[in-house]
Amino acid sequence: MKNFIVLLREPDGRRDAHQENEIKTHQLNWKNWLTKYQQEGKLVGGSSLTLKGNLIKGNDAKVTKGLHEVGTEIVGGFLLLKAEDLNEATAIAQTCPIYEFDGYAEVREFKQQ
């Protein structure tokens, strides 16, 4: 088994209005999805991320408050998966609820040392 990280990018939720029932359904879908892959031993970690952070940039490593945004998109969380290969990790990530609210995912293998 190989180790993969799934970076979850999504529109900044503070900017989009969703109905309460949509949010509850989305949260339940996440709970069910996480439980399924944890029980299968494929999901070994992960977390959503807060909206507070610092950016460090440039040769002088200047610190500014805020998040890296591309348009209105932010990295909202990450998942740590165990899979046979990139294809299996991608197939797992394809079933993730991130897409319900226009998010997207990037799947990458950990570099083996």
Report the pLDDT value the prediction gives residue 13, as an integer from 0 to 100: 64
Report the pLDDT value the prediction gives residue 16, as an integer from 0 to 100: 67
Condensed to tens digits (0 to 9), the pLDDT of residues 98-109 reads 999 888 999 999
24 phi and psi, to 5 degrees? Answer: -65, -45
CATH numbers and ranges of domains, the chain: 2-109 (3.30.70.1060)
- What residues contact residue 11 under an 8 Å CB cut-off, 6+ apart? 72, 73, 74, 101, 102, 103
Angle subtended at Cα 100 by Cα 27 and Cα 5, rounded to the nearest 5 degrees: 80
Condensed to tens digits (0 to 9), the pLDDT of residues 32-57 reads 999 999 999 999 999 988 888 999 99
Hey, which residues does 9 pair with through a beta bridge?
75, 104
CA–CA separation, 59 vs 83, rounded Å? 37
58 phi and psi, to 5 degrees? Answer: 85, 170
The pTM of the full predicted model, rounded to 2 decimals, is 0.85
Report the pLDDT value the prediction gives residue 106, as an integer from 0 to 100: 95
Residue type at 94 in one-letter notation: Q
